[in-house]
Structure 1
Amino acid sequence: MNTPLMDLLKEKRKKSEDVLELIKDGDDIILPLANGEPKVLLDCIEANAARYRDVSIHQMHALRGRDYINGKYRGHLSHVAYFLSGASRKAFLEGNCDLVPNHFHEVPRILRETTKTSLIITCASPIDEHGYFSFGTQADYITSFIGKVPFFLEVNMNMPRTFGANQIHISQIAGYTIEDYPLHEVQSPLITDIDRQIATLVAEQIENESTIQAGIGAIPNAVISLLVNHKNLGIHTELLSDGVVDLVELGVVNGIAKKTHPGKVVATFALGTNRLYEYIHENPGVAFLPVEEVNDPRLIAREDKMISINATTEVDFLGQCASETVGGRYYSSSGGQSDFARGARFAKEGKGFICMHSTTKNDTISRIRPQLSLGSAVTTSKNDVDRVVTEYGVAQLRGKSISERAKALIRIAHPKFREELLYEAKKIGFII
């Protein structure tokens, strides 16, 4: 490193407690999601919550449960969620934190328009020889604020250095600390026989040279595992998971047919195991881009044969998909499901798949219903849904009438519920 850079490195090196001086009463602090969450800096802020009044911390998908999320420091430090996780779900349901409805691609704009964007606190990789830190597993919504909002970094020696639009120069930060702790790993969920049945139906409809987005869950993972004999696939997805690594190493994913960022695996964040984190480290074939770009339906639609694969909890006869509530109670949020459903819908030869088991609670409740459960939130609207998939088949809803939709959905319902569903559809006048 040159002398000016070494001087900056020394000047910007701080203690964890120094972040406290950057926070004022009424501030809005922004944290990235998942492994971008700065553990030690948050410990410090939380331990000093009493010194502040009305400071809000804004974040999607909090990684660790904390007292401020659970309302312990009410009036001093509060949590505003944009996607619920295991760390915040109970807190929201008990009224101890807020949840802001959103489409993932709009989160940067929402933060710009509704908060003070006082300070961004995030994890980062160690600095490179040119003076840049990388946000590693992240780009998400924080990269939209580089050069516009003060950043304070928690450099984690285990954070991979990645490429794309997720680097920040040392001259652009208020300070940094250095820590050393392992990244949070998420193991792939157990894939059941029903998951494989659904995944097989989806994989059969994916053509060579398609570009794939796969959401969170066993079924999207199962679909990825079934694409090993495909050719020239591309990846443009909000979440990058372990399954993609296999497809790249097999030569199935090479991105040569992509219209945007050809040859690159494009994502806005990565969450998985250490194998994934090692794969993305210093890998020029992976580009982490701001969610405003990755999840913008208008930009997604530029890819021919764009494939969107997501999961839901229930679907009504109109095709409305409730993917963020379970039995009418909030579980997560919209995330990017609607972003990619719309993008795939606009794309040339695009296909959008919404997947689910046909039943829940040991086959006692049908997930295909005349109406959504009371309190359910519609994530993917009836106008945006393309194909709904259960283990009993694929219901293609795009361009179909309400009567045709109801019939198609009943055909892929569990056999024990089809007669009852048909009766209900006739009762409300959807089928004559």
Structure 2
Amino acid sequence: MTAQDEQRDSVKWGDYLKSGNRIFIGSNAAVPNALIDDLIANSKGLHDIETVHILTLSENVWAKSEHKDLFKVNSLFIGGKNIREAIAEGRGDYTPCFISDVPRLFNENSLPLDAALIMVSPPDEYGYCSLGVSVDIVSAAVKAAKYVIAQINPKMPRTNGHSFVHVNQIHSWINAEQDLPQIFAPEMDRRTEQIGQYVSMLIDNGATLQIGIGKIPEAVLTYLGNHKDLGIHSEMISDGVIDLMLKGVINNRRKTYHKGKAVVTFCIGSQKLYDFVDGNPHIEFYPSEHVNSPVKIAKNDNMVSINSAIEVDLTGQVVSDSIGYQFYSGIGGQVDFVRGASLSKGGKAIIALPSTTKDGTTSRIVAHITEGGGVVTSRGHVAFVVTEFGIASLQGKSIRERALELIRIAHPKFRDKLLNDVRKHYWVPEYQESSPSSVPELGTIEMKRFNFADINYTLRALAPADERKLQEFFYSHNKETLIMRYNHHITQMTREKSCNLVSVNQHTDLALCFTKKNSLGESIQAVARYYYIESMNSGEVAFVIKESLRGRGMASTLLGEMIAIAKIRKLDSLVACVRRDNGSMLKVFERAGFVRQPSEDFDEVSLELTLTTPETGDTEKH
């Protein structure tokens, strides 16, 4: 007999459960609430049933204190109503684990299952039900449990992929219609949008994405509208992917694994999303042991993982499952995807978080992890950390360089304290005196992308963590470049000198650079700066471009940016001294409006650009 042939509104629980058993409860938006209610209503004689599950979006009645004699909560990922309270009060437990490892816990008797309580769609003409919007670890539970008990819900979408369960795998069931819980896109705020913009700048055309749900993921997706040929290999998706798929931005064409398909384990969102995945042949749902496998994730070239955190310390350790001693969520799939992206050819592992708590009183970039906090992702895994103040590149960085990178993206009001704190434990040279400063005149996100000869470069402020990169840039110059820039053949760029050059008070002086990114970080391609001359309310300009990139417009672009910032800062003029035989540089200045001035040195040409009119002091328009 099939589920279509028989209507059932109750399960004979005594045939399947006894006191002390362990049951699995369906995940995310597929919690079989009617089944749970039926178990509670017919639980006479049962007690101490252990419930195992990950995130469950429901009332989670089994976790209420009134049912503490019947159920004991064991959550593999904390979330949903009443779960966190049960764990905090000792009525429940939290078992940390990687989502990719959960099937092994079920199969190898670490957490053997007596029954799996799941929600499925009605069977098709061939007798197959779909696990719908939540395949994840439900699939493994179905295979491992002694008994499978299902709630057949006609409102459950039929999703494609490895999402099907035949009715002969189901030992008992009830028919119960249930609306799926809806999670709507949150309202954006300015700092979340800035984080989204910065993260989007790390995503190249053709990348494959893993992304979650919440403000930051939605902000990232919002700023991907101009990207091309993106793919999805993600534990989950939310509403934000719908428009990008309809526009063809996400088309999965350049994926190197599951080419042409968006691959996920579950989805959470509005009814619009549930309708979108229903029967959609372009989205396939697979079990967590497949999608979350770091080895399989790494089969996608240019894999980008985007995850969040509660706090990140100055060495790059990521805390994301607890606030001090209070367990808050779980390890989930973060490490699976961070590791997979790190192993991917051209991959990037990104942690994105606001720089402070909501009230702005506490920095989330910290000198040391809060007591009781647990490291989920190690300091060796993460390539990039992003806040609303920028991108910190950590891969290949020393502890000192990491600290300076992370201080740069901390909230400005905490930077000096973080620099002082880091000195207590890690070596920072005495000549590293100031914490990083910003250049707000660059815009809401203090980075800009430019394309020269079909290659993307990033314009940003030079920062203290660039000390080694500046040394490498210096030693890449030939003798002619050094003479043109320094007027003599300088042969050494000491660590101290390099540190002084990158430790810029960007509020008075200005130092910008063009960088080129790759999977291991970035390298400096050009540097431009002006030194503020207070007596003249002027800035003295100088810059140098990598020899192989000259003639492509980098110098003119850098000069244009410096002129624009100088005008905003109401400088009266910009000045420069250029060797007379440096014809190409003279042309760059003169095209920007600089005028030659009398010079006492025959070998040099003095130039000046007046920014304000003598009569009014108003900034001129150029």
- TM-score norm. by structure 1 comes to 0.95
The alpha-carbon deviation at position 104 of structure 1 amounts to 1.1
Work out whether 1:72 is the aligned partner of 2:66.
yes
One-letter identity of the residue aligned with 1:57: T
Work out whether 1:335 is the aligned partner of 2:315.
no
Distance 1:48 1:8 in 2: 24
Distance 1:431 1:12 in 2: 73
Q: Which residue of 2 aligns with 1:4?
A: none
The alpha-carbon deviation at position 111 of structure 1 amounts to 2.5
Distance 2:35 2:265 in 1: 23
* Aligned with residue 133 of structure 1, among 124, 129, 139: 129
Partner SS, residue 56 of structure 1: strand
Partner SS, residue 58 of structure 1: strand
One-letter identity of the residue aligned with 2:63: I
CA contact (8 A) 1:406 1:430 kept: no
**1:175-214 deviations in whole A, cap 9, x for unaligned?**
2221112110011122211011111111012111100011
One-letter identity of the residue aligned with 2:262: V
The alpha-carbon deviation at position 146 of structure 1 amounts to 4.2
* Aligned with residue 35 of structure 1, among 4, 25, 29: 29
Distance 1:11 1:187 in 2: 37
**1:13-54 deviations in whole A, cap 9, x for unaligned?**
533232443112221111121222111110121233442133
Distance 1:414 1:296 in 2: 35
Q: Which residue of 1 aligns with 2:183?
A: 186
One-letter identity of the residue aligned with 2:57: L
CA contact (8 A) 1:328 1:376 kept: yes
CA contact (8 A) 2:100 2:333 kept: yes
**1:364-398 deviations in whole A, cap 9, x for unaligned?**
21111110111111111111111000111111111
Identity %: 38
Partner SS, residue 139 of structure 2: helix
Work out whether 1:400 is the aligned partner of 2:397.
yes
Work out whether 1:115 is the aligned partner of 2:111.
yes
Q: Which residue of 2 aligns with 1:85?
A: 79
CA contact (8 A) 1:307 1:351 kept: yes
One-letter identity of the residue aligned with 2:393: Q
Cα–Cα, structure 1 residues 177 and 345, in superposed 2: closer, same or farther, change >3 Å? same
One-letter identity of the residue aligned with 2:182: E
Partner SS, residue 179 of structure 2: coil
CA contact (8 A) 1:20 1:45 kept: no
CA contact (8 A) 1:300 1:340 kept: yes
Q: How does 1:107-256 map to 2 (within 5 A)?
A: 107-112=102-107, 113-149=109-145, 150-256=147-253
Q: Which residue of 1 aligns with 2:372?
A: 375
CA contact (8 A) 1:12 1:176 kept: no
The alpha-carbon deviation at position 10 of structure 1 amounts to 6.1
CA contact (8 A) 1:207 1:230 kept: yes
One-letter identity of the residue aligned with 2:58: R
Q: Which residue of 2 aligns with 1:18?
A: 12
Q: Tell me whether 384-393 or 174-183 shows the greater mean CA deviation.
A: 174-183
One-letter identity of the residue aligned with 1:70: K
Partner SS, residue 376 of structure 2: coil
One-letter identity of the residue aligned with 1:114: S
Distance 1:248 1:403 in 2: 42
Work out whether 1:51 is the aligned partner of 2:48.
no
CA contact (8 A) 1:157 1:180 kept: yes
Work out whether 1:61 is the aligned partner of 2:55.
yes
Partner SS, residue 79 of structure 1: strand
The alpha-carbon deviation at position 328 of structure 1 amounts to 4.2
Distance 2:135 2:250 in 1: 22
One-letter identity of the residue aligned with 1:342: R
Distance 2:140 2:303 in 1: 25
CA contact (8 A) 2:21 2:114 kept: yes
Partner SS, residue 98 of structure 1: strand
**1:306-326 deviations in whole A, cap 9, x for unaligned?**
011111121111101111223
Distance 2:354 2:13 in 1: 47
CA contact (8 A) 1:210 1:234 kept: yes
Distance 1:191 1:380 in 2: 27
Q: Which residue of 2 aligns with 1:410?
A: 407
Cα–Cα, structure 1 residues 298 and 8, in superposed 2: closer, same or farther, change >3 Å? same
One-letter identity of the residue aligned with 1:125: S
Q: Which residue of 1 aligns with 2:421?
A: 424
In structure 2, runs of 5+ residues without a counterpart are 430-622
**Is the radius of gyration larger for structure 1 or structure 2?**
2
The alpha-carbon deviation at position 76 of structure 1 amounts to 3.2
Partner SS, residue 129 of structure 2: strand
Cα–Cα, structure 1 residues 262 and 275, in superposed 2: closer, same or farther, change >3 Å? same
One-letter identity of the residue aligned with 2:268: L
Distance 1:67 1:205 in 2: 42
The alpha-carbon deviation at position 329 of structure 1 amounts to 1.8
Q: Which residue of 2 aligns with 1:3?
A: none
CA contact (8 A) 2:160 2:285 kept: yes
Cα–Cα, structure 1 residues 116 and 26, in superposed 2: closer, same or farther, change >3 Å? farther
Q: Tell me whether 366-375 or 171-180 shows the greater mean CA deviation.
A: 171-180
CA contact (8 A) 2:157 2:279 kept: yes
Distance 2:299 2:143 in 1: 29
Distance 2:190 2:60 in 1: 37
Distance 1:56 1:409 in 2: 42
Distance 2:360 2:4 in 1: 62
CA contact (8 A) 1:124 1:155 kept: yes
Distance 1:430 1:75 in 2: 55
CA contact (8 A) 2:79 2:329 kept: yes
Distance 1:352 1:116 in 2: 33
Partner SS, residue 126 of structure 2: coil
Partner SS, residue 52 of structure 2: strand
The alpha-carbon deviation at position 8 of structure 1 amounts to 3.3
One-letter identity of the residue aligned with 2:246: E
Distance 1:47 1:321 in 2: 43
Higher relative contact order (CA 8 A, sep 6+): 1
Work out whether 1:95 is the aligned partner of 2:90.
yes
**1:265-298 deviations in whole A, cap 9, x for unaligned?**
1100011000000000111111110000111111
Q: How does 1:307-386 map to 2 (within 5 A)?
A: 307-386=304-383
Distance 2:373 2:80 in 1: 19
